[in-house]
Structure 1
Amino acid sequence: MPDQAAAARDAAEEASALSHPPVAPDATAAYGAHPDQVIDFYAPRGGAGHVPSGAEAAGTAPLVVVLHGGAWRSRYDRRHVTPFADFLARRGFAVANVEYRRGETDATATGSATGSTQAVAAGSGSGSGSGSGSAEASAAGAVGATGSTDASGGATPVAGRWPETFDDVAAALDALPALAREALPRADVNRTVLTGHSAGGHLALWAAARHLLPADAAWRTDRPAPLRGVVALAPLADFEVAEKLAVCEGAARQLLGGDEHFALRRPYADPSLLLPTGIATTLVQGRTDVVVPQAVAESYADAAAKAGEVVGLTLLEDVGHFPLIDPAADACAVVAEEIAQLAW
């Protein structure tokens, strides 16, 4: 268990990361019929700190796909990472912020997602989407990362939905190239980097390993995903270690359907069992992270090494869980540089 000082520091970091007004996208596209099956797109805007390149001069920019975290629980939607998506867009990347189905029942998930989807999409087609009007439209009625309610009556809500969470991530990534070409003409889908935070980091690693899934997996592909690389941020990358450490109150076990399904479904869902991917991968991890401890990322990196693959592991001193997606934190700039190393 984290000590009181660590818990207080984590709470302050979370408050900072979630204090930024949501940023409405330039466009939103659906990849399915469910309200959660949508992708928000942010056009590259350059600006201070952006990474120049020859391709940029030619009018194209790498595409960064963002998968948000939140322990796969419905109370956390893509809205809380819209400032992070905007931060990346302002550094010259084209950005796709993916929503997907999370925990709870259909009624609960649909209710939260509909409010969030409509609110965030309200700014679609409004240029940068960063003005106060867009932010207010995005915030109005949306279910946020900290202010939501659910049907659990205060109890810990269920993490993830099997198989819908995985169905959605697979479908979104399959549909993304065509959707991005239409929504972001400047996006170079041949230079795509996948990133995700926490539970989204797990999904990013999993999506890059679909060609290694068991032969009977509905999500399996016949070849590696056409990615420049993956940058996973404090990912739940090893389910066995995460469960031993009770990460996010047993979220990984809940995602797979509970005790009776955990062992059977791990080969279909646990990135540490889906190696080597053959795709350049970097993990970025805060050393003082008490939400997803460093040991989880280290275990994944060790598993990769045993499988004959080198995975980069960037450990940040005095950094917890949330600064990695906080545009006000130095750690967020480090994340952008790690993405740039793979993308440009």
Structure 2
Amino acid sequence: MPSHSDPTGDPQRPLPLVYGPHPDQVADLHLPDRPGADRLPLVLFFHGGFWRAAHDRRHTGAFADALARDGGCAVANVEYRRVGAGGGWPTTLTDTARAVDRLPELSSRAAPGRVDTDRVVYAGHSAGGHLALWAAVRHRLPAGAPGRTDAPAPIRGVLALAPTADLAHADRLGSGRGAVADFLGGSATEVPERYAAADPAVLGTPAGRTVVVHGTHDEALPVDMVRAYARTTGTTLTEVPHGSHFDVIDPDSPAWPSVVQALRALVEALG
């Protein structure tokens, strides 16, 4: 998908954001083409890829562009340190915390008058969906856990697309050829304190409203995982019939209307 354009027809590239000193502490801010008097809700989006360095934000650039266009939002496509390049426990989590704390203000500065920092949504796909859910429960983390805060920034909610919502479950399944154990440095029996500080399934209901969109034929993370998570936390689950793991980030897939509708429901909600 080409870069979006401004009203004059000139290409408009995403705006670069830097939220920390490391080269991976960056984000690309995508804005919709259409001008408007109203400020745009802000989506902080975390890409997936098993938390591994082999996968970076470039594979969700077209998705972020389409979400900005169709959802009428500013979308920050967030990079973070990943396993194999300085990430994993606890660095990936502390990068996530730093990103959500700093990027709203940085986005507002990069696009003066266009970003509404009172309407922020955390979002992510797969491993990035885990990070979005985790970011919204930082006030529930055990004392002293990396990223914990007693005063989280107010958000409208979380849009989790095919998320790794239960780390212990995913590890037992061997998802991503041992991706969870690589991320946290072991299994739940080997490093239980890390799972207690990182697993959305045990950390309770996220701040704001949470909507999970998940394909019923997801080949990477079974839909039963998020069904159990939704029952436990009271979050909203939208199932995409016959949807695959990547349909939820494909603007050309039948899942796309469900993704856009879920985002609009979050940003348009009162409060």
The change in CA–CA distance for 1:278 and 1:39 in structure 2 (over 3 A counts) is: closer
- The SS at the match of 1:343 is helix
Q: CA deviation at 1:59?
A: 2.5
For the residues of structure 2 that align with 1:302 and 1:287, how far apart are their CA atoms? Answer: 16
- The SS at the match of 2:255 is helix
- The SS at the match of 1:264 is helix
User: Which of 16, 19, 22 pairs up with 1:31?
Assistant: 19
Q: CA deviation at 1:184?
A: 2.2
For the residues of structure 1 that align with 2:54 and 2:129, how far apart are their CA atoms? Answer: 18
Look up the match of 1:202: 130
Q: CA deviation at 1:22?
A: 7.8
Whether the 8 Å contact between 2:211 and 2:238 is mirrored in structure 1 is yes
> Which has a greater percent of strand?
2
Look up the match of 1:95: 75
In the superposition, the TM-score normalised over structure 1's length comes to 0.71
- The SS at the match of 1:282 is strand
For the residues of structure 2 that align with 1:79 and 1:251, how far apart are their CA atoms? Answer: 20
Q: CA deviation at 1:57?
A: 5.3
- The SS at the match of 2:41 is strand
Look up the match of 1:78: 57
1:182 matched to 2:182? no
Q: CA deviation at 1:216?
A: 1.2
Gaps of 5+ in 2: 5-11
- The SS at the match of 2:191 is helix
| Aligned pairs for 1:248-263 within 5 A | 248-259=176-187, 261-263=190-192
The change in CA–CA distance for 1:27 and 1:242 in structure 2 (over 3 A counts) is: same
Look up the match of 1:167: 94
The change in CA–CA distance for 1:236 and 1:22 in structure 2 (over 3 A counts) is: farther
The change in CA–CA distance for 1:257 and 1:21 in structure 2 (over 3 A counts) is: farther
For the residues of structure 2 that align with 1:311 and 1:218, how far apart are their CA atoms? Answer: 25
Whether the 8 Å contact between 1:238 and 1:299 is mirrored in structure 2 is no
| Aligned pairs for 1:227-306 within 5 A | 227-259=155-187, 261-304=190-233
- The SS at the match of 1:265 is helix
The change in CA–CA distance for 1:263 and 1:73 in structure 2 (over 3 A counts) is: same
Look up the match of 2:149: 221
For the residues of structure 1 that align with 2:255 and 2:54, how far apart are their CA atoms? Answer: 25
1:318 matched to 2:247? no
For the residues of structure 2 that align with 1:221 and 1:169, how far apart are their CA atoms? Answer: 13
1:338 matched to 2:266? no
Q: CA deviation at 1:217?
A: 1.6
For the residues of structure 2 that align with 1:44 and 1:60, how far apart are their CA atoms? Answer: 11
Q: Which has the higher contact order (CA 8 A, sep 6+)?
A: 1
For the residues of structure 1 that align with 2:85 and 2:51, how far apart are their CA atoms? Answer: 13
For the residues of structure 1 that align with 2:202 and 2:13, how far apart are their CA atoms? Answer: 35
Whether the 8 Å contact between 2:162 and 2:215 is mirrored in structure 1 is yes
Q: CA deviation at 1:78?
A: 0.2
Look up the match of 1:153: none
Look up the match of 2:9: none
Amino acid at match of 2:84: E
Amino acid at match of 1:327: P
Q: Deviations over 1:162-216 (max 9, x none)?
A: 1110111111111112101111220111111111000000000000000000111
Q: Deviations over 1:22-55 (max 9, x none)?
A: 8884310211111100011012224xxxxxxxxx
Q: CA deviation at 1:105?
A: 4.2
Look up the match of 1:63: 42
Whether the 8 Å contact between 2:18 and 2:27 is mirrored in structure 1 is yes
For the residues of structure 2 that align with 1:287 and 1:162, how far apart are their CA atoms? Answer: 30
Q: CA deviation at 1:226?
A: 1.1
Q: CA deviation at 1:299?
A: 2.2
Amino acid at match of 2:24: D
In the superposition, the TM-score normalised over structure 2's length comes to 0.90
For the residues of structure 1 that align with 2:62 and 2:183, how far apart are their CA atoms? Answer: 27
For the residues of structure 2 that align with 1:21 and 1:103, how far apart are their CA atoms? Answer: 30
Q: CA deviation at 1:75?
A: 0.8
Whether the 8 Å contact between 1:44 and 1:61 is mirrored in structure 2 is no
Name the % identity. 46
Q: Deviations over 1:144-178 (max 9, x none)?
A: xxxxxxxxxxxxxxxx5111101111111111121
Please provide the CA RMSD for this pair.
Answer: 1.8
For the residues of structure 2 that align with 1:45 and 1:210, how far apart are their CA atoms? Answer: 34
- The SS at the match of 1:267 is helix
- The SS at the match of 1:64 is strand
